[in-house]
Structure 1
């Protein structure tokens, strides 16, 4: 800015916008800390797949069932959790989630049979399902709407730091101390998280608590789901999440390490470094995407579709490469996979302006269900194809392209409709802003 040039005024707050500030950061940070812990537990199997196969004496299909069941529970819980968050509030839902995923992680540490271990991962998935939607709602309640894209991307970024702990710390602890001490020790973090939530967390700033009078009315659940689904922005957000998230999720959650070790001939240490590259790339790209979308809302669809295209291209190069792919190609693949998480978060930026505050949890649940449904489907497909083809990773990982094609077709179909509807809502909000003075 040059001398004499007036400073650009910040965008006006919409009617009902919360004030933000340091207390908002503190409340949001508690919620994000819980999400960080949940991601650490969720991805812990990603560095223990080989040990799990030996401990429970299972093949590839049975091993994939661990993550498949966990994601099946997670995906199936998204709409119920969204309804619970809208009805109970963040604090209660997060507390229940912590109890469930901590119990699941501790039980997994002690499990000595495959069925018991499956039950523990399902319990973990149920608790994990309650965290991210709660954090999104917490951000919407404590921060102005214009901060939404950046706050959501930051939440995803910090969650990926939990994945970083898994690849950098948990893998080494597992190698040094073994199965039970590693998983049982990590479960202690849940006790601290529960104490923080119960003693300090508040759902919303004073004067911004949601109206809950209608929650007890007959047909509330049906109306919430129907109204959220009726918005093209909600459906578009779900398909963006579906299409963008799953390649990296499948890679990090279970099949990345076996693919790099068994199909590409890397040692476990080098494969672990490449998994870390995915996490670091995710964190950097998340910041870039969040800032870009906050300033240029029209960049949402190009960023999402561009990421999907780059992911498909790099997977095609790696799978078509004769023999083992060069290290620099694998590094590039991991860098591009790191953009999948931030690209999937764009789905929430389509659903958020399409729904009023009292429906944000339900809409977020619908969106979040997309990526985890795709991940669940791909995890199963890869495990089955590996068993049918005698561990042919080229054939197995080709399942990625089928789901990407389906998702892109739906994104293109809904994009124009959602944008028109969003413009209509924006005009309405601006008219209201003229007649309702902004809060100070």
Structure 2
């Protein structure tokens, strides 16, 4: 069989493409299980390592910080070695971390384990995003990227239940040793089933040194448009789900069961809204930033309504808050579509890693700032008043990210205009539609 025939038989959107994607999704779902496993075992972890809840929260911070700081290095390695190697290698690293966690009783060993898990997790999702761009037609990429993210959210809910059951029935060593075994199986699946592109193992030739992809991606305004889009949409959701949402809901007067139910609403909202945002992104590529700005503005408005309440907010308002925060997850994935649209395939991993670092870097700052505000607030610890001050700090980060997005969008549109793609004002587009004339046209080729 000739190379052309091989490419045609295993090309973009083929049955082989779906097999590659599904294998990568399994590995990503397992990565999400590793990422969230410590969070559902907090009581057992506190007993095993003899630490307080405050110290226990630093394990999450360490893992999240490693994940964020590893985004650009992981993206560079992804461009160099491809998705197959990064997904399989990351799975092995995470399995090693869980294996260490299953046997250690030392707090230092636990920190090292979470560092390994954060490092292994860092490249998994961006490697899946790169696979989607390599294996599927451009029109399908936004929706499939969203579905990839949804898989992780759904896996987080489904995976926690059996893990907790095994933890309670068989103990810490068996539960986390089992996670290590699952991680090795995920690595084997990725190695056997994932291929970097329809043409096989080849990757574009690069020149200019190790940092050349970073410099090229950083010079592209569209990359920064993706960075600020991801930061603006992602950090409020991470602040809520990964750190302070649950105790905030308890301070609002909810029971632990009700608080857990409200937290689940955010996950459900992400799963439901992901395909919708993916389709809107594909249909209206010139208006992608409006999806991000619209979502972020809605989140800010609902947060403001919750924080200005004279007493505890009504339950329906807290449910609404969780829902709009959940939509922020899929909205942040629009940033990856900007990275794909405005970067060459040779630096796509680097650009995607840079974008992915936006939301997580802002989340680390937000979580730390909220923690400082809670610690220094006068009065009862973790009171509703303290949480209102802590969450109000989000406003500063929101303004910084929104300003960055608008500046990057202006620069991106100026560059697009120099390349012959002019983005007409919304009022002009609406006027044309009312007049029955032609609407926007945008080429969804390599550049879009």
Range into which the TM-score falls when normalised by the shorter chain: 0.7 to 0.9
Of 291, 297, 300, which residue of structure 1 is paired with 2:285? 297
Deviates more, 1:271-280 or 1:360-369: 271-280
1:237 maps onto 2:230 in alignment: no
Following TM superposition, by how much is the alpha carbon of 1:332 offset from its aligned partner in structure 2, in angstroms?
0.8
Q: Could you report, residue by residue, the CA deviation over 1:218-273 in whole angstroms, capped at 9, with x for unpaired residues? A: x4222111110000000111011111101111222232223223x12333333222
Matched residue count: 411
Of 17, 20, 23, which residue of structure 2 is paired with 1:30? 23
Q: Could you report, residue by residue, the CA deviation over 1:4-43 in whole angstroms, capped at 9, with x for unpaired residues? A: xxxxxxxxxxxxx953222111101111211111112212
Following TM superposition, by how much is the alpha carbon of 1:427 offset from its aligned partner in structure 2, in angstroms?
5.7
Question: What is the distance in 1 between the residues matched to 2:266 and 2:171?
Answer: 25
8 Å Cα contact 2:138/2:444 also seen in 1? no
Question: What is the distance in 2 between the residues matched to 1:251 and 1:174?
Answer: 25
Change (3 A) 1:56 1:317: farther
Question: What is the distance in 2 between the residues matched to 1:422 and 1:172?
Answer: 53
In structure 2, the residue matched to 1:399 is 393
In structure 1, the residue matched to 2:254 is 266
1:312 maps onto 2:305 in alignment: no
In structure 1, the residue matched to 2:130 is 137
Question: What is the distance in 1 between the residues matched to 2:246 and 2:171?
Answer: 18
1:413 maps onto 2:407 in alignment: yes
Name the SS of the counterpart of 1:88 in structure 2: helix
1:382 maps onto 2:370 in alignment: yes
1:331 maps onto 2:319 in alignment: yes
Unaligned stretches of 5+ in structure 2?
1-9, 423-441
Name the SS of the counterpart of 2:210 in structure 1: helix
In structure 2, the residue matched to 1:252 is 241
Question: What is the distance in 2 between the residues matched to 1:351 and 1:224?
Answer: 13
Of 346, 355, 367, which residue of structure 1 is paired with 2:334? 346
Question: What is the distance in 2 between the residues matched to 1:237 and 1:98?
Answer: 27
Following TM superposition, by how much is the alpha carbon of 1:64 offset from its aligned partner in structure 2, in angstroms?
3.2
Tell which has more relative contact order, 1 or 2 (C-alpha 8 A, sep 6+).
1
In structure 1, the residue matched to 2:97 is 104
> What's the TM-score, normalizing by structure 1?
0.86
Name the SS of the counterpart of 1:338 in structure 2: helix
Question: What is the distance in 1 between the residues matched to 2:306 and 2:47?
Answer: 28
In structure 2, the residue matched to 1:62 is 55
In structure 1, the residue matched to 2:310 is 322
8 Å Cα contact 1:307/1:336 also seen in 2? yes
8 Å Cα contact 1:46/1:257 also seen in 2? no
Q: Superposed, which structure 2 residues align to 1:121-200 within 5 Å?
A: 121-166=114-159, 168-171=161-164, 174=167, 179-200=172-193
Question: What is the distance in 2 between the residues matched to 1:335 and 1:23?
Answer: 36
Unaligned stretches of 5+ in structure 1?
1-16, 434-440
1:113 maps onto 2:114 in alignment: no
